[in-house]
Amino acid sequence: MSGNQTHAGLHAPRAAALIGPYGGGKTSLCEALLELSGTRLRHAGDSRPPEPGAETRLLNCAFLGDHWALLDCPGSVEFQAETAAALAVADIAVVVAEPDPARAMTLRPAFAALEAAGTPFILFINKADTLSVPPAALIAALQAETSTKLVTRQLPIVEEGRVAGYVDLVSERAYRYRERQPSEAVPVPAGVEADEHAAHDALVDTLADRDDALLEKVIGGEAVSAAELFAHLRHDLGEGNLAEVMFGSAAHGNGVLRLWKALRHDAPDAAQTALRHGIAPEGAPLVQVFKVSYAGQAGKLAYARIWRGPLRDGAADGQMRVGGIFAFPGNDAQKRPQAEAGEVVALGRLDGAVPGTVFGDAQGSLAFPAAPPPVYALAIGVPDHKDDVRLSTALAKLLEEDTALSLTRDAETGDTLLAGQGETHLAHALERLNKGWGLAVNTARPKLRLKETIRLAVHEHSRLKRQTGGHGQFADVKLEIAPRPRGEGFAFADRITGGAVPRQYIPAVAAAAEEAMARGPFGYPVVDVAVTLLDGGFHAVDSSDMAFRTATRNGIAEALAKADPVLLEPVHRVTVSAPNSYTAAVQRLLTGKRGQILGYGEKPGWPGWDETQALLPETETHRLILDLRSQTAGLGGFVHEFDHLAEAAPHLVERMVKQAAQ
């Protein structure tokens, strides 16, 4: 069937997001679905096809007269912002899982994203031909990772140690897989009849628990038709009360047609999804952007769901004007004069649009997931300063494309910091800068944000006396420099009596004292110090604000070196989340990084996961996400915030002393 059919289908166009961890086979399943729809993948030169595993792919197609947008989402946890954005506009998700109970925990981030978005889903067990445990054991392991009731829709038929087909538990019909062909209807094998009846009854009981009329029928011993069960399944799936579990193998084309039919019959339509988001069915066109891309000669493309239509090319909303409407059958951009309600399309030259932008009157604001906080940063720059403007322009566009990236300028170190969700995430961003804008960017570990303070109180006498012809320079100050409690900052006071230093010069002394805190003996800002002007002297002709500033700065520089200076490093409060089977490894990792464990407990709303709280030096947070993921099968994550300053570790002090002496 052609992917270019007219809109004569049974439903308005619908959108399905394919999500799940890396390695589950989402892209293979997406391509198998496209093959059955008659849509061929191809790549147009003017539209940059998203890279597999890094960005969401939009692929429009049609199946049995219904039009669909398939959103093939990345599997890596580092690109989960892409998945969250796709779920914000999808009618349904297909969660692609592997048939291994040990891998069930890798589904938890996907389930959490679904819970946050409220998106209904079907769980598709891919690679079913490699299933080596009883299906019930696999479902139990997966159920432990989600609060949504998982309902087995199919009972696998195992022959000679392999899954050879399935029994549909609603129709109670059996099918045998055929390589890349529709499954063959067969009698229910005698060896699985008892299991099939038990599974069918369990399905009926689950549905009856959610409907009083059906429950009465079951209790009364009345037969429940397949049509009734289909209707209840569709209703409960759309309400998010349950999720259907199906089996298949994308690589062999097994179970894919059955999945298409389940999507066609059971997925909520666009109008239902709009109501779930609080969108009134009537009104002017309403569009929500969920992804932005700068695509070569095509320029800026804003990928969007049409909640109300039709949206015509050239439509305007304030300063935004649609400059082209594009559909993507098989990655090939095709320009259209308008888009209908339910469609997912790309809009050209929509200036100012970023992920989450609403085009049209939303009568409020449509919900859109916030970007996750960054966990890994690199200092970036270009080899040639003449490219600074180009870099700034390219970064601005890159941040429009990817809301999970952030760019900051560290005032203390002078670093320009590009931060994101991990090493792979930033590597992808840097590759985009290179391929998309021809910029080779240098990277480095961010400089340490250290501070200094002092342990001893000292007195310092500083006199400035210069005579160079005409008026000279004269200032005399006697200072006390003393430590203050941690966190209390800088303070200045004076105890001048008898006019030893005229009052008009004291503000200059105070200002110079504070300025002198910008750089201590080790070369870092000085904190938690009190400076007191005790005494001094002046000259009626040669004294000036400048002279007192210079004398004060010189005196404080001498005093700080004598006051037992010490380096301070920032300490952050971190909260690490990971499956509880890795909690001990997480705690060993943190203590190995000079962390102080504060406690741990179950992560709210994440069954089987723990959160560990700790105090950790900021310098140890740089590689924390890399080491954490290597220790937790790629699942661990953390959030952090500054807590306090503490004396730096001896090895840092030794390194800084050597650098200061050079």
Q: Are 55 and 74 in contact (CB under 8 A)?
A: yes
- Rounded Cα gap, residues 608 and 186, in angstroms: 41
Mean pLDDT score of the chain, rounded to an integer? Answer: 90
- Rounded Cα gap, residues 618 and 641, in angstroms: 9
Residue 231 DSSP SS3: helix
Closest alpha carbon to 100 in 127, 71, 68: 127
Q: Are 73 and 83 in contact (CB under 8 A)?
A: yes
- Rounded Cα gap, residues 30 and 20, in angstroms: 12
- Show the tokens assigned to 169: 């538990």
Q: Are 398 and 433 in contact (CB under 8 A)?
A: yes
- Rounded Cα gap, residues 662 and 653, in angstroms: 14
- pLDDT for 363: 61
Residue 552 DSSP SS3: helix
Tokens 């490699």 correspond to 130
pLDDT digits (tens, 9 = 90+) for 534-556: 999 999 889 999 999 999 999 99
Taking residues 582-588, report their average pLDDT.
Answer: 97
- Rounded Cα gap, residues 39 and 329, in angstroms: 7
In angstroms, the Cα distances linking 334 to 42, 305, 307, 658 are: 12, 16, 20, 62
Pairing of strands 491-494, 529-537: parallel
Grade residue 5 by pLDDT with cuts at 50, 70 and 90: very low
**Per-residue pLDDT at 281 exceeds 50:** yes
- Rounded Cα gap, residues 152 and 616, in angstroms: 45
pLDDT digits (tens, 9 = 90+) for 137-167: 999 999 999 999 999 999 999 888 788 899 9
- pLDDT for 318: 82
pLDDT digits (tens, 9 = 90+) for 170-183: 999 999 998 888 88
pLDDT digits (tens, 9 = 90+) for 423-456: 999 999 999 999 989 999 999 999 989 999 999 9
Kindly tell me the burial class for residue 587, based on how many C-beta atoms sit within 10 Å of its own C-beta (0-12, 13-18, 19 or more): middle
Pairing of strands 286-294, 358-359: antiparallel
Residue 89 sits at φ, ψ, to 5 deg, of: -120, 0
Taking residues 74-91, report their average pLDDT.
Answer: 95
- pLDDT for 370: 92
- pLDDT for 659: 62
Angle, helices 256-266/26-37, rounded to nearest 10 degrees: 80
Angle, helices 388-401/423-437, rounded to nearest 10 degrees: 120
**Per-residue pLDDT at 583 exceeds 90:** yes
Closest alpha carbon to 19 in 78, 89, 100, 97: 97
Tokens 């890349």 correspond to 180
Residue 310 DSSP SS3: coil
- Show the tokens assigned to 521: 């003996």
- Rounded Cα gap, residues 8 and 621, in angstroms: 55
Kindly tell me the sign of the dihedral angle through the C-alpha atoms of 126, 130, 134, 140: negative
- Encode 457-479: b = buried (16+ Cβ within 10 Å), e = exposed: ebebebebeeeeeeebbbbbbbb
- pLDDT for 285: 92
Chain-centroid distance of CA 490 in Å reads: 38
- Encode 424-451: b = buried (16+ Cβ within 10 Å), e = exposed: bbbebbbebbeebbebebeeeebebbbb
Taking residues 474-492, report their average pLDDT.
Answer: 96
- pLDDT for 160: 80
Catalogue all structural domains in the chain, each as residue range(s) with its CATH number: 14-275 (3.40.50.300), 279-359 (2.40.30.10), 376-442 (3.30.70.870), 452-563 (3.30.230.10), 567-661 (3.30.70.240)
DSSP character string of 336-347? ESEE-TT-EEEE
Grade residue 192 by pLDDT with cuts at 50, 70 and 90: confident
- Rounded Cα gap, residues 62 and 134, in angstroms: 35
Taking residues 326-335, report their average pLDDT.
Answer: 79
Tokens 């649609």 correspond to 322
Q: Enumerate the β-bridge partners of residue 493.
A: 532
Grade residue 638 by pLDDT with cuts at 50, 70 and 90: very high
**Per-residue pLDDT at 2 exceeds 60:** no
Residue 287 DSSP SS3: strand
Residue 264 DSSP SS3: helix
Q: Are 174 and 157 in contact (CB under 8 A)?
A: yes
Pinpoint the alpha helices (H) of 91-147. 108-117, 135-143
Q: Are 419 and 405 in contact (CB under 8 A)?
A: yes
Query: How many residues are there in the chain?
Result: 662
Q: Enumerate the β-bridge partners of residue 452.
A: 526, 567
pLDDT digits (tens, 9 = 90+) for 25-71: 999 999 999 999 988 765 433 344 444 578 999 999 999 999 999 99
Which segments within 187-342 are labelled E, that is strand?
Answer: 242-247, 286-294, 300-308, 311-312, 316-317, 320-321, 325-327, 334-336, 338-339
